[in-house]
Amino acid sequence: MGLWASLDAMWEMPAEKSIFGAVLLFSWTVYLWETFLAQRQRRIYKTTTHVPLELGQIMDSETFEKSRLYQLDKSTFSFWSGLYSEIEGTLILLFGGIPYLWRLSGRFCGYAGFGPEYEITQSLVFLLLATLFSALTGLPWSLYNTFVIEEKHGFNQQTLGFFMKDAIKKFIVTQCILLPVSSLLLYIIKIGGDYFFIYAWLFTLAVSLVLVTIYADYIAPLFDKFTPLPEGKLKQEIEIMAKSIDFPLTKVYVVEGSKRSSHSNAYFYGFFKNKRIVLFDTLLEEYSVLNKDIQEESGMEPRSDGEGDSEEIKAKVKNKKQGCKNEEVLAVLGHELGHWKLGHTVKNIVISQVNSFLCFFLFAVLIGRKELFVAFGFYDSQPTLIGLLIIFQFIFSPYNEVLSFCLTVLSRRFEFQADAFAKKLGKAKDLYSALIKLNKDNLGFPVSDWLFSMWHYSHPPLLERLQALKNSKQD
């Protein structure tokens, strides 16, 4: 009764106080729900200390224990970083951090000779200061995650100098994109009249399509080295498979992900008849720098019979990040190309844009409500950027949670469909072994709490994917 009484009291408050209280209450409700789920999964990590019988054929006890300890460390980190983030956000709201930063931005603009009438300029200064604050407060957590947790479990390949240079570069590139795009969006909203939400939506659609088109060619190379996949059997087989399903492949790249992390990945990008495939070098057994490093450190290639090798060399070879053989890489790409052939990429874009249009429409309905601004400390002004922040981040938060869960469910369905597509290409056996290897290489823990996985996993748990492939593999 106490909770319902407090809720009744909150709704009897003035509108602005009710809005503020509801935002805080929902934020903490989501945090507590996420913490509850995380603790359920953490209990799995703690209590599942031996390889379950159904996993005996696909995972050895040493790898199982390594993945268990890795996930435990990540779970602990996630708890403390999540708690900090929630407390920080609450304190910012309670102590008026948003209106304070807006006034501070106005003072900086005043020093440069720009008065209150230059709202877009003040908005850009606000964004710059807000993203700088976020980057600085997030830096210690990122450093700990990279140089303690990832380092401890053998994934980090970065030096501190490389990490800091990378962080600065990311911040600069982000500002070079964020500030011009934001200024144009604010200008469109200002001059768009009654139908500004349509123009704003069309603008964000155009920006997203442009960014997707240029990202891998112009943005990603600022951070990682992309090289064409050398001529050979693997490239030839990729081209044959792409042609067999009418995938308009133009180039295949290998990205040097190993200088940053030993985690592996693969993806494709591009529109219409200009598709490219990108493979991480850590995915390719024959191409991986990490595998070469082990040979260089040992001073020799280990003999196939194992005779004459020191115990240290044997241990390094046994524990190296193995990557995938060519046939397994093709199976992984068969899965990825399945997403394209089955229209998953287009469906995701359509869903995203329908959601974007709906949000801009609701923003147009709500932007004139003064109580929304008053609730967050803006008594004398209603800046457009602040309206975007309040409505998209706070007012829409319940809707965003529901949408996120629905997209997670849909994503798992798409993953099963892409696996089934790879099966139709005759890649079931190789995809089966590739999934096991990738799980091992990335120290994925194959046992999960059903509620945690249902809420969080965009990909089905490993055992479910293997079971779906098993019958075809045996055939």
Positions at the binding site? 335, 339, 415
Contact by Cβ (8 Å): 216, 271: no
Between CA 356 and CA 364 the distance in angstroms is 12
Question: In the numeric block, which tokens belong to residue 101?
Answer: 């930063």
How far apart CA 333 and CA 353 sit, in angstroms, is 27
The binding site for Zn(2+) comprises 335, 339, 415
- Of 386, 359, 355, 395, the C-alpha closest to 27 is 395
Strands, E, within 221-369: which ranges? 226-228, 249-255, 266-269, 275-280
Closest by CA to 81, choosing from 143, 19, 127, 10, is 143
b/e map 117-144, b = 16+ CB within 10 Å = ebbbbbbbbbbbebeeeeeeeeeeeeee
Query: Structure tokens of 276?
Result: 């490219």
* Contact of 332 with 266, CB cutoff 8 Å: yes
Backbone angles phi, psi at 252, to 5 degrees: -125, 125
Let me know: does 264 contact 282? Beta carbons within 8 Å.
Answer: yes
Using DSSP bridges, classify how beta strands 275-280 and 249-255 pair: parallel, antiparallel or unpaired.
Answer: parallel
The C-alpha atoms of residue 159 and residue 165 are separated, in whole angstroms, by: 10
Helix, strand or coil for residue 21?
helix
State the burial class of residue 276 (Cβ atoms within 10 Å of its Cβ: 0-12, 13-18, 19+).
middle
Active-site residue, from 281, 419, 441, 449: 419
Q: Please answer whether residues 412 and 460 qualify as being in contact, where contact means their C-beta atoms are separated by less than 8 angstroms.
A: yes
Choice among 86, 293, 327, 336 that is catalytic: 336
Beta-bridge mates of residue 156: 261
Can you read off the two tokens belonging to residue 387? 């309206």
Structure tokens at 473: 């593999």
Candidates 171, 140, 145; CA nearest to 156 is 145
Determine whether 336 is an active site residue: yes
Task: Let me know: does 111 contact 98? Beta carbons within 8 Å.
Answer: no
Query: Within 13 Å, how many C-alpha atoms sit on residue 279's CB side?
Result: 30
Q: Which two tokens stand for residue 224?
A: 């990682």
CA gap 71, 41 in Å, rounded: 10
Residues 6+ positions from 181 with CB-CB distance below 8 Å: 207
Does the active-site annotation cover 239?
no
228 - beta bridge partners?
253
With H, G, I as helix, E, B as strand and everything else as coil, classify residue 113: coil
Catalytic residues: 336, 419
